[in-house]
Every structure is written in C-alpha cells, then in structure tokens.
C-alpha cells in the first residue's frame, strides 16, 4: 500500500512538471522509479510509458482550446515516428540495461539544459481564430524525418519523445517554446500507443505500477497545462531546469557506480 501511495505521488509530480513545462514526463519517471522505489531497470524504463498517454491527452486538450497546436506538424511527425518507435522498443533486447539508464539520464540532462537556455514560454493572447501560429517553412517531409529520428530514440528509452520534439520544433521550425510544447503533446499521445504495446509484450511494463502513476499523472498534468497557459513562468523555468540537470547528473553517477 505504501508503494502504491508513493507511485501516485510520483505521478502527481511527473504530471505537474510535464504539463507546466512541456518536458519531463516519462523521461523523469524512469530515474524516479529507480531512485525512490528501487524498480528493476527495464521495469523502471517501461512502466512510466503508459502514463505518458493520459499526460499528453489531458495537457493537449488545454492547449487545443488555446489554438496552440500545429495539426500539420502532428500528422507528419506521427507518421514518421510510429514505425521507428516500435523498432527502437525492440532494440532494448540487445542494449545493456546499464547503458539504457545512462542514456535516460543523459536525455534528462539535455532537457534541463534546454530549459536553462530558452526563454519562458510566451503568454498567449487570443486563439487560433485570431492569430497565426509562428512556424517558419513547415515542411511535411521534414516533420516526417524528425518523427522517424525521435521515434527510434523514444522507443529505445521508452518515452513519448516530448523532450526531443520541443527543442527540435523550436530550432528547426522557428516556433515558440509554448507552441512547440503544445504541438508535441498530441505527437506524444499517438506515438506512445505502439511503444506501450511493444514494451508490454517485451515484459517491461508493470501494470499496477503504471496504473498508480497514471492516477497521479492525469489530474496534475491538466493542472500544470492550465497554469502554464496563465503564467509566464519567468521565475520557475530556469530554476527547474537547473534542478532537472542536477538530478540527471546524480542519477547518471548512481547508475554508473553500480
């Protein structure tokens, strides 16, 4: 019972962080399960992934109402990502779990560094009906290639790919951090489904643990996304980025010392 309560609490933290900042999600779920609950590496890798689906859906609903989601980007990115996320998930059979944990920690570190480098998401004024999204030269094949690359790594690390898609959308297509985070959520939702199925078939998903995480994630993600729409986050984004980076370094050192 104590483990269930702890898992729900971890889900609350994961959802709030992911909904507010558009990064984290299942990526930080793996190190949290390893450090807090002591879960086996592959169980810690796969079990947070199902919670990424309600996380992305509940957060995406908020952003959709604000007109922040680029539908074209979502469709092309998902089309490229679905086949490769299955391939990446299967590759976990051959990659040593120790190095998978190292890669997870490295991706969390990159996400923290991205939060330190970028400005806080801009506040929205109006909806899609009253303004244009800020994407520059959005190309279908470019989104397709991006989705394929992100899908492969997301399958290997059992995450939805949001921590990769957000900076990629910003750097490659010139959009704002907020619109990139909003658009990444439906991509994550759709790409997570084949990843969950594949990792479950490989025995990497603890059903009860995934359920407890989901119970915490769903309400807190919606709350985080709602707060993000209403707050500029000037005083929070960089401190959380620094905390995320320090957490990643600690996790990497712990894993490599075992």
Instruction: Report which of 115, 88, 10, 103 is spatially closest to residue 55, judged by C-alpha positions.
Output: 10
- Considering the entire predicted model, what is its pTM? 0.82
Cβ neighbours of 237 (radius 10 Å): 20
Higher local confidence (pLDDT), 132 or 80: 80
Q: What pLDDT score does 75 carry? A: 94
Q: What pLDDT score does 209 carry? A: 92
Q: Where are the domains of the chain?
A: 2-122+134-256
Q: What pLDDT score does 58 carry? A: 67
Q: Please report where in the chains the tokens 């709350």 appear, as a residue.
A: 223
Kindly provide the b/e burial profile for residues 157-193, where b requires at least 16 CB atoms within 10 angstroms of the residue's own CB. Answer: bbbbbbbbbbbbbbebbebbbbbbbbbbbbbbbbbbb
Q: Is the pLDDT of residue 131 over 50?
A: no
Q: What pLDDT score does 127 carry? A: 38
CA distance 44 to 38: 8
Burial of residue 216 (CB within 10 Å: 0-12, 13-18, 19+) is buried
Q: Is the pLDDT of residue 18 over 90?
A: no
Query: pLDDT tens-digit profile of 173-222?
Result: 888 877 888 898 899 889 999 999 999 999 999 999 999 988 888 778 76
Q: How many residues does the chain have?
A: 258
How confident is the model over 67-73, as a mean pLDDT?
88
Instruction: Report which of 134, 133, 147, 122 is spatially closest to residue 233, judged by C-alpha positions.
Output: 122
Q: What is the DSSP string of 182-200?
A: HHHHHHHHHHHHHHHHHHH
185-31-192 Cα angle (round to 5): 30
Q: Which DSSP symbol is given to 35?
A: I
CA distance 187 to 226: 19
**Phi and psi based region of residue 24 (left: phi greater than 0; alpha: psi -120 to 50; beta: remaining):** left
């Amino acid at each position: 019972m104590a483990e269930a309560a702890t898992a729900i609490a971890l889900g609350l933290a994961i959802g709030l962080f992911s909904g507010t900042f558009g990064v984290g999600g299942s990526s930080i779920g793996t190190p949290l399960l390893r450090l807090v609950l002591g879960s086996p590496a592959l169980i810690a890798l796969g079990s947070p992934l199902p919670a990424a689906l309600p996380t992305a859906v509940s957060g995406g609903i908020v952003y959709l109402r604000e007109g922040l989601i680029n539908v074209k980007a979502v469709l092309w990115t998902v089309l490229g990502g679905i086949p490769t996320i299955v391939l990446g998930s299967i590759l976990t059979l051959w990659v040593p779990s120790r190095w998978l944990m190292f890669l997870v920690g490295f991706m969390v570190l990159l996400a923290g560094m991205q939060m330190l480098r970028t400005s806080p998401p801009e506040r929205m004024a109006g909806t899609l009906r009253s303004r244009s999204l800020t994407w520059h030269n959005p190309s279908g094949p470019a989104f397709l290639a991006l989705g394929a690359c992100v899908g492969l790594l997301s399958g290997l690390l059992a995450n939805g790919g949001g921590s990769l898609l957000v900076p990629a959308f910003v750097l490659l297509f010139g959009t704002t951090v907020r619109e990139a985070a909003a658009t990444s959520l439906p991509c994550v939702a759709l790409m997570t489904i084949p990843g969950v199925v594949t990792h479950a078939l490989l025995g990497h998903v603890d059903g009860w643990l995934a359920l407890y995480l989901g119970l915490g994630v769903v309400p807190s993600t919606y709350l985080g996304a709602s707060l993000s729409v209403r707050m500029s986050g000037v005083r929070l984004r960089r401190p959380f980025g620094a905390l995320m980076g320090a957490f990643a370094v600690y996790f990497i050192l712990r894993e490599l010392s075992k």
